[in-house]
Chain A
């Protein structure tokens, strides 16, 4: 048997820690995400001292740690692929082979985002079987950019998202007629997070 190379064991030294206080931190982050989803377009700061998975921002890591588990296949774009062992260890989440199979998609390079129609949009009977996209963006600014209207917004709210590709909002608007099917968007940058759920209309 000597001379036969053994399969390389996983190098655990490269793994970083998860939440310092797994229960408390996950609850605080869940609450922050809930607030963001209830107030589309409002920029919230994820609370606490957040860990950081390779290839992902602290806010995206917090979303993964708070929401992903063995029942939620995740899809990672090429720029976020380094986070796969981290998510496997701390969340137990399986990695989806294709965007359509994923419940959560982590996109570290917003410019290379696949067409939105490639993600799971849910079915008429089960609209919740859809994907939540967590997209790393250059910056989130309230008060400028496109106007958001819909549930959770009194009048209108403006949110500027830096680093999205051209015609992104047009592409998203095309999904509106499928409602209640659709996808929910979480934009993250650093520790900041803003949500644009499927119920929100975005007018440029």
Chain B
């Protein structure tokens, strides 16, 4: 049985790879899946289904939570099977938008990443490049925004 600390670390690691995968474009995920040498057998536990989730917000992180609005999202769940057809790992995918294939691919990678035997390879070939891309895009955006930054200040009148 795992200790609380181990489980918290596992959860954190899973959150971070799911965050990267959920934001990745479907083409990049598909390319990662096609490049996979030995594709596992899997069955669909929940086919991609699209629905609405309520996004909640809080002004400044301290105010009362309020309903910001609904957004479209798609979720899917898959189960990897071993050679005897027994279920080994279950993966879940939740993505913004309506692409069922994208949710399924996120779920597949989530399941593969839980498998200790495959984790490192997938992390290196799929998750790390995507994370680097997302980080670069974020930095580029931040640079553009920074270049046009205007600082407001009030002159003290010298009286």
Main secondary structure of the interface of B (DSSP, over half): strand
Q: In the bound complex, do residue A17 and residue B43 qualify as a contact, i.e. CB atoms below 8 Å apart?
A: yes
A12 to B80, CA, bound (A): 11
Q: In the bound complex, do residue A17 and residue B44 qualify as a contact, i.e. CB atoms below 8 Å apart?
A: yes
Is B45's CB within 8 Å of the partner chain A?
A: yes
Is A155's CB within 8 Å of the partner chain B?
A: no
Interface residues of B toward A: which range? 10 to 19
Is B5's CB within 8 Å of the partner chain A?
A: yes
Q: In the bound complex, do residue B45 and residue A1 qualify as a contact, i.e. CB atoms below 8 Å apart?
A: no
Q: A1-39 interface mask toward B, CB cutoff 8 Å, 1 = contact, 0 = none? A: 111111011001111111011100000000000000000
Interface residues of A in 127-162 (CB under 8 A from B): none
Chain A residue nearest in CB terms to B44: A17
Chain B residue nearest in CB terms to A15: B45
* Total residue contacts A-B, CB cutoff 8 A: 49
Residue in contact with A6 in the complex, picked from B4, B45, B88, CB distance below 8 Å = B4
A18 to B49, CA, bound (A): 12
Q: B62-106 interface mask toward A, CB cutoff 8 Å, 1 = contact, 0 = none? A: 000000000000000101000000011110000000000000000
Chain A residue nearest in CB terms to B88: A13
Find chain A residues with CB under 8 A from B44 CB: 17, 20
Find chain B residues with CB under 8 A from A16 CB: 45
Chain B residue nearest in CB terms to A19: B47
Is A172's CB within 8 Å of the partner chain B?
A: no
Find chain B residues with CB under 8 A from A5 CB: 1-4
Q: In the bound complex, do residue A6 and residue B43 qualify as a contact, i.e. CB atoms below 8 Å apart?
A: no
Residue in contact with B3 in the complex, picked from A2, A14, A21, A90, CB distance below 8 Å = A2
Is B46's CB within 8 Å of the partner chain A?
A: yes
Q: How far is the CB of A23 from chain B (nearest CB, A)?
A: 9
A11 to B51, CA, bound (A): 25
A187 to B141, CA, bound (A): 62
Find chain B residues with CB under 8 A from A17 CB: 43-46, 79
Q: In the bound complex, do residue B47 and residue A22 qualify as a contact, i.e. CB atoms below 8 Å apart?
A: yes
Is B7's CB within 8 Å of the partner chain A?
A: yes
Find chain B residues with CB under 8 A from A9 CB: 7
Q: In the bound complex, do residue A6 and residue B7 qualify as a contact, i.e. CB atoms below 8 Å apart?
A: yes
A86 to B148, CA, bound (A): 54
Q: How far is the CB of B75 from chain A (nearest CB, A)?
A: 12
A6 to B79, CA, bound (A): 24
Chain A residue nearest in CB terms to B49: A22
With A5-B4, A8-B1, A13-B79 given, name 17 new contacts (CB 8 A).
A1-B4, A3-B3, A5-B2, A6-B2, A6-B4, A9-B7, A12-B45, A12-B79, A13-B87, A13-B90, A14-B87, A17-B44, A17-B45, A17-B46, A20-B44, A20-B47, A90-B46
* Subset of 13 A-B contacts with CB under 8 Å: A1-B3, A2-B5, A3-B3, A6-B6, A12-B45, A12-B90, A13-B87, A17-B43, A18-B45, A20-B44, A22-B49, A89-B46, A90-B46
